[in-house]
Amino acid sequence: MPGFELFGDIERKEVHEVLETGVLMRYGFDGMRQGRWKARELEQEIQNQLQVKHAQVVSSGTAAVSMALAVAGIGAGDEVIMPTFTFVASFEAVMMVGAIPKLVDIDNTLTLDPLAVEKAISPKTKAIMPVHMCGSMADLSAFKALCAKYHLKLIEDACQAIGATYQGKALGTIGDVGCFSFDFVKTVTCGEGGAVVTNNSEFYQNADHFSDHGHDHIGMDRGAEGHPFLGYNFRISELNAAVGLAQMKRLPSFIETQKKHYTIIREAISQVKGIEFRAVPEGGEESYAFLNFFMPTLDAARKTMEGFKEQGVDGCFNYYDNNWHYIRKWEHLKELKTLYPVSKEVRDGLQYLANANFDQSDYFIGRNISCLIKLSWTEEEVKNRAEKMVMVISGLLA
């Protein structure tokens, strides 16, 4: 990743077809568009590749998560259990629908710890939302069992994991509803875009309406369409969808390339004693977008990052000190800094963060090094990178 590294003729062709019609909106203007419906084609391509009944493409991954929650009936005062390690958009989406993000510890999968999740379930809990960070997955069998036991919805935030699978099924298609991001730095990019996928026909119909101000899309006159319920403008443009369509067609080759580069680097650093790789649940296969491993201590991880920078090994992250992906630096959430009044339910519901202890998450995130796997590397560049990484890590652990 990301897919923009390999932009080429196929992306240009799809975009030019949109520009030739002059129709950038995904709905209406039937007579002008020459039969070209890029958003519809992208949805069909997603359905085919992920083997899911329904896909609704939207304007961003954040929009996708917000809409997934809405169509699943999550709203005011409901608690949504989610991990301490994610992108800020995950809790922003929860709060957008008036719900309360209930953050709990991760384990060595770098995703939700099932034991921590069950302890956090309360009468207000309505959904569990595992976030499949850095190309791999949560223990979905455990979470499906918990959702069945406590009558909860399972919402998969797979925004960073397109192309990964669990027990033969694509991530995002296993829960009640799943979400993807197609932003500029994702494996499949639209520039800006996202998708909601589901096998639930009612959820899909709600997503179709909700993403377009509640339009029911019945008939040929947009101005005469009904509004069965309130919605928002989460529409994707035809230009963004055109880029995504070309990229989605290339997903299998992207995953193949990522796996090749990932494997070369992993096999090299696996020879260094003291390295532990992130756990992948049984039956899971990563998207190979990131290689994640653990150093023995936080200090060793920080020194590894310094060594990588000195050697010109870019694209690696220690999220312990990151402002956007780990709870430790989320003061704007902990102190509820907003531009507008927040409901008493949400304000009261977030008070637990003032004294919450996430030592277990600190233990895993502090020691973790997450390395982006690029599509554009040559094999020689990958091997050179692996040699430098081994030199830095082995030097620290000697």
Q: Which residues are catalytic?
A: 186
| Strand partners for 179 | 157, 196
C-alpha to C-alpha distance for 103 and 363, rounded to whole angstroms: 16
| Strand partners for 178 | 156, 197
How far is the CA of 317 from the CAs of 81, 271, 320, in angstroms?
Answer: 25, 21, 9
C-alpha to C-alpha distance for 69 and 75, rounded to whole angstroms: 8
DSSP assignments along 69-114, one per residue = HHHTT--TT-EEEEESBS-THHHHHHHHTT-EEEEE-B-TTSSB-H
What phi and psi, each to the nearest 5 degrees, are found at residue 217? 60, 35
Taking the CA atoms of residue 380, residue 386, residue 391 and residue 394 in that order, the dihedral angle to the nearest 10 degrees is -160
Q: Which residues contact 95 (CB under 8 A, 6 or more apart)?
A: 101, 342, 346
Give the count of beta carbons closer than 10 Å to the beta carbon of residue 131. Answer: 28
C-alpha to C-alpha distance for 101 and 378, rounded to whole angstroms: 42
What HEC string does 327-353 produce?
Answer: HHHCHHHHCCCCCCCCCHHHHHHCHHH
What phi and psi, each to the nearest 5 degrees, are found at residue 307? -65, -40
